[in-house]
């Protein structure tokens, strides 16, 4: 059987948007390359690939966790586990090696296991259900033209800024130091433990789904096999999971650290506050050497920022290609906007306390072999369940309390 | 609704682009004079200070 290759765009493709956003991406990459360097321009384009993948597969954590808890459907949760497992297969051996591209060793996402992670992850999980998207979800839906998510993003930035003001205090609270499974047990047992843990979550989701429905849900979107499907979407969750893992490995190798999203939000907030006359540079957090340097450098020199710009624009390009830009966006009413504000604030504050979001802490942390990633996952999931209970009070399509 | 969101997206993109350019202009490193550049340490060694092994979402 032969596979027919077709590259003709679907009738719904938004040609103007594709041309404009595509041209903007190329110009911006050129500008970043000239203003900073070629590697930074590459990372911007890499962010674009993340955004395109996230949009074409609608790959988000928030909806997937909600479907698992409320409908006992675990397909999305299993795709997330596959993504982290595929990344761990690349990350753990790479991080244990002596490879030092760009003259410095690769750095995994490692963080202490303490009060700040427990509290921050719980708040983040709660916020992501109220906001209707996690950090990467917020970026790709903003790129997809969802006005409500612009509100979430604005307050995500504000919450992150407040988080940077409070983080030094949180770090004085009880905590274990960071636990790197590779250093504790060696990289092979660390990889086995990580894959085993991810496999257990996937098996649990299968057990729960079969118990509730008798069988697993049939795959709704096939693996993209034609060039047309790759260009215009939609992509299956499995395809997206494997691509996101690969892109994160490319990020680790080219940026020197795993993909992260929320650090930039705090930086953007600090720069905006500084421009408004707030003496952010005097805050403890922003006087630490790395943070001080980031605050006083061009935002284009910050890896996380340029990758976030890329994610938004890549998602906008995908939305144009699929003809789905601003599709399904409803009129903004007060209650969902209040939920967006609260969700953004909680996610921003929580992410700063817990050293990242689903991407930086869960995806990057677990794939690096860091125990804080697992603690983050458990607490964010718990917070998410509370958030699902609160959604109906804001007119969101969540669980109706009985 | 779609045209309103497109307008909103376009405005946000324009505002963000202006803000990024302004920030870059304000914070871009000053040009190093040729003579000073010759005696300055290479960027390779300068990059290996306290940010060695740093991940943005990792421990501070």
From the CB of residue A13, how many other CB atoms can be counted at a distance below 10 Å? 17
Q: Closest to A296 (Cβ–Cβ): which among B9, B20, B27?
A: B27
% of residues, chain A, pLDDT over 90: 86
- Structural contact between residues A396 and A338, judged by C-beta atoms closer than 8 angstroms: no
**DSSP character for A328?**
T
A68 vs B2, residue with greater confidence: A68
3-state secondary structure of A248: helix
Q: pLDDT per residue over A195-254, tens digit each?
A: 999 999 999 999 999 999 999 998 778 887 788 889 998 999 999 999 999 999 999 999
Q: What is this structure's pTM?
A: 0.91
- Tell me what the mean pLDDT of segment A67-76 comes to: 96
Is A239 inside any structural domain?
yes
Whole-number average pLDDT of chain A: 93
Is B15 inside any structural domain?
yes
Residue A344's domain comprises 15-394
- Structural contact between residues A55 and A315, judged by C-beta atoms closer than 8 angstroms: yes
ipTM score for this prediction:
0.87
A228 vs A259, residue with greater confidence: A259
- Structural contact between residues A262 and A348, judged by C-beta atoms closer than 8 angstroms: yes
Is A225 inside any structural domain?
yes
- Tell me what the mean pLDDT of segment A330-353 comes to: 93
Q: Binning pLDDT at 50, 70 and 90, where does residue B7 land?
A: confident
> Is residue A26 scored above 50 in pLDDT?
yes
A108 touches chain B (CB under 8 A): yes
Q: Is the peptide bond before B26 cis (omega within 30 degrees of 0)?
A: no
Is B5 inside any structural domain?
yes
For A174-310, list the strands marked E by DSSP.
175-178
CA–CA min distance A13, chain B (Å) = 14
Give chain B's end-to-end CA distance (angstroms, integer): 43
B14 touches chain A (CB under 8 A): no
Which residue in A has a C-alpha nearest to residue B17's C-alpha? Answer: A28
- Structural contact between residues A57 and A236, judged by C-beta atoms closer than 8 angstroms: yes
Q: pLDDT per residue over A85-111, tens digit each?
A: 999 999 999 999 978 877 778 999 999
CB contact under 8 A, B58 and A304: no
Smallest Cα–Cα separation from A269: which of A155, A351, A151, A359?
A: A155
Whole-number pLDDT of residue B2:
73
Which tokens in the block code for residue A196?
Answer: 């085993």
Is A10 inside any structural domain?
no
Residue B7's domain comprises 1-25
Smallest Cα–Cα separation from A363: which of A95, A145, A83, A47?
A: A83
Is B8 inside any structural domain?
yes
Longest CA–CA span in chain B (Å) reads 60
A150 touches chain B (CB under 8 A): yes
Distance CA A86, CA A211 (A): 27
CA–CA min distance A228, chain B (Å) = 25
Q: Which residues of B touch A290 (CB under 8 A)?
A: 50-51, 54, 60
Whole-number pLDDT of residue A275:
95
- Structural contact between residues A240 and A87, judged by C-beta atoms closer than 8 angstroms: no
CA–CA min distance B43, chain A (Å) = 10
Whole-number pLDDT of residue A10:
60
CA–CA min distance B30, chain A (Å) = 11
Interface mutation vs chain A, best among B4, B25, B58, B60, most A CBs within 10 Å: B58
- Structural contact between residues A307 and A251, judged by C-beta atoms closer than 8 angstroms: yes
Smallest Cα–Cα separation from A232: which of A8, A21, A2?
A: A8
CB contact under 8 A, A108 and B55: yes
For chain A, the domain total comes to 1
Instruction: Label each residue of A360-391 as H, E or C.
Output: HHHHHHHHHCEHHHHHHHHHHHHHHHHHHHHH
Smallest Cα–Cα separation from A327: which of A14, A8, A7?
A: A14
Distance CA A108, CA A181 (A): 12
Q: Which residues of A188-201 are buried (b: 16+ CB within 10 A; e: fewer)?
A: eebbebbbebbeeb
- Tokens 């790759």 correspond to A230
Q: Which residues of A touch B47 (CB under 8 A)?
A: 102-104
For chain B, the domain total comes to 1
Is B36 inside any structural domain?
no
Of A163-172, A206-215, A228-237, A346-355, the least confident: A228-237
Is B55 inside any structural domain?
no
Is A399 inside any structural domain?
no
- What phi and psi, each to the nearest 5 degrees, are found at residue A34? -75, -40
Is A118 inside any structural domain?
yes
CB proximity list for A8: less than 8 A, separation 6 or greater: A228
CA–CA min distance B33, chain A (Å) = 18
- Tell me what the mean pLDDT of segment B41-47 comes to: 33
């Amino acid at each position: 059987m032969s596979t027919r290759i077709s590259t003709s765009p679907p009738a719904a493709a938004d040609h103007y948007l594709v041309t404009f956003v595509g041209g903007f991406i190329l110009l911006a990459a050129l500008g970043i390359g000239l203003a900073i360097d070629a590697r930074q321009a590459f990372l911007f384009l890499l962010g674009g690939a993340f955004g395109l993948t996230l949009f074409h597969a609608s790959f988000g954590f928030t909806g997937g966790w909600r479907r698992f808890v409320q409908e006992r459907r675990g397909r999305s949760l299993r795709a997330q586990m596959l993504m982290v497992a595929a990344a761990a297969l690349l990350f753990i051996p790479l991080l244990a090696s002596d490879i030092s591209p760009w003259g410095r060793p690769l750095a995994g996402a490692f963080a202490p296991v303490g009060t700040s992670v427990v509290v921050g992850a719980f708040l983040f999980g709660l916020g992501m259900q109220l906001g209707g998207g996690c950090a990467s979800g917020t970026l790709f839906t903003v790129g997809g033209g969802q006005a409500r998510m612009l509100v979430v993003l604005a307050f995500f930035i504000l919450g992150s800024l407040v988080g940077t003001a409070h983080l030094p205090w949180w770090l004085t609270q009880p905590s274990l130091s960071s636990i790197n499974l590779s250093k504790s047990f060696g990289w092979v047992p660390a990889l086995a433990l990580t894959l085993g843990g991810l496999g257990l979550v996937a098996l649990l989701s299968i057990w729960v789904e079969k118990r509730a429905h008798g069988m697993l849900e049939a795959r709704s979107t096939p693996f993209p096999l034609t060039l047309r499907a790759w260009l215009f979407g939609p992509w299956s969750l499995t395809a997206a999971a494997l691509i996101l893992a690969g892109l994160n490995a490319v990020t680790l190798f080219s940026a020197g650290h795993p993909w992260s999203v929320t650090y930039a939000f705090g930086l953007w907030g600090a720069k905006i506050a500084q421009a408004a006359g707030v003496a952010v540079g005097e805050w403890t957090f922003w006087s630490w050497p790395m943070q001080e340097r980031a605050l006083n450098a061009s935002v284009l020199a910050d890896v996380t920022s340029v990758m976030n710009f890329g994610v938004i624009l890549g998602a906008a390009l995908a939305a144009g290609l699929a003809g789905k830009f601003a599709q399904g966006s409803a009129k903004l009413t007060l209650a969902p906007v209040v939920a967006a504000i609260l969700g953004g604030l909680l996610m921003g504050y929580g992410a700063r306390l817990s050293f990242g979001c689903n991407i930086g802490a869960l995806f990057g942390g677990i794939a690096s072999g860091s125990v804080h990633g697992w603690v983050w996952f458990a607490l964010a999931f718990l917070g998410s369940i509370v958030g699902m209970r609160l959604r109906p009070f804001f007119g969101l399509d969540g669980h109706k309390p009985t | 609704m779609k045209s309103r969101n497109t307008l909103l997206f376009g405005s946000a993109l324009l505002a963000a682009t202006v803000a990024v350019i302004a920030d870059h202009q304000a914070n871009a490193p000053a040009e190093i004079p040729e003579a000073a550049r010759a005696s300055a340490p290479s960027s390779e060694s300068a990059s290996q200070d306290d940010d060695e092994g740093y991940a943005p979402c990792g421990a501070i």
